[in-house]
Structure 1
Amino acid sequence: MSRTTTTTTMTVRLSGALSDFVAANVGENGSYENISEYVRDLIRRDKERAEQEAFDRLKAELTRAFAAPETSYKPLTAAEVIARNRA
């Protein structure tokens, strides 16, 4: 499968404490070589967090569903499931 890569250039303005915090984390004394590397890492971490939250919600829903008594289940057709999910 072929994957297209898109590059986006962004401008972000920081001042005061935020600017100082970024400066302390970038360069010779920081954990990142440059600001772009730092921002990419922050975005990756936030993406991972969002994906983990979605997985945790799904896992909790499935746990509730499998814990329900057998009598609470109702047979549905595929059309009924699709209609229910659209609602």
Structure 2
Amino acid sequence: MATLNISLPDQLRDWVAQQVKQGEYSSASDYLRDLIRNDKRQQEQSAKWLKGHLEPILNTQEDEFQSLNADDIKARARKRLNNSGGDE
């Protein structure tokens, strides 16, 4: 197992020591490994969620797109505002 030395401000070092003292972690290294695992898991879940939302868009067929200019987009926005009861 590799070693990694890090510097922490006193407040963070005290926080880590408190987590170990409470007994859930056997050492500061154990606590930091758990934080890293949780961060890794969260980032993987975020990437999976993003992929799930972007994949359908990226797999859209070319013929499903419409060519719009700025006036078309403004007209659509106005229509949506009018249909939702919003004010301009």
* TM bin (shorter chain): 0.5 to 0.7
Q: Which of these residues, 59, 74, 79, is aligned with residue 52 of structure 2?
A: 59
- 1:21-40 paired onto structure 2 within 5 Å: 21-27=15-21, 29-40=22-33
Supply the AA of the counterpart residue of 2:10: G
How far apart in 2 are the matches of 1:50 and 1:61?
16
- Structure 2 residue identity aligned to 1:44: R
Distance between the aligned counterparts of 2:39 and 2:26, measured in 1? 20
The aligned residue for residue 20 of structure 1 is 14
Aligned AA (2:13): S
Q: Distance in 2 between matches of 1:17 and 1:41?
A: 19
**Structure 1 residue runs without a partner (length 5+):** 1-6, 74-87
Match of 2:37 in 1: 44
Give ranges in structure 2 of 5+ residues lacking alignment.
66-88
Which structure features the higher share of helix residues?
A: 2
Cα distance in 2 for partners of 1:63, 1:72 equals 12
Instruction: Give the SS at the match of 1:14.
Output: coil
Of structures 1 and 2, the larger Rg is shown by 2
What's the TM-score, normalizing by structure 2?
0.60
1:22 & 1:59 partners in 2: Cα distance? 36
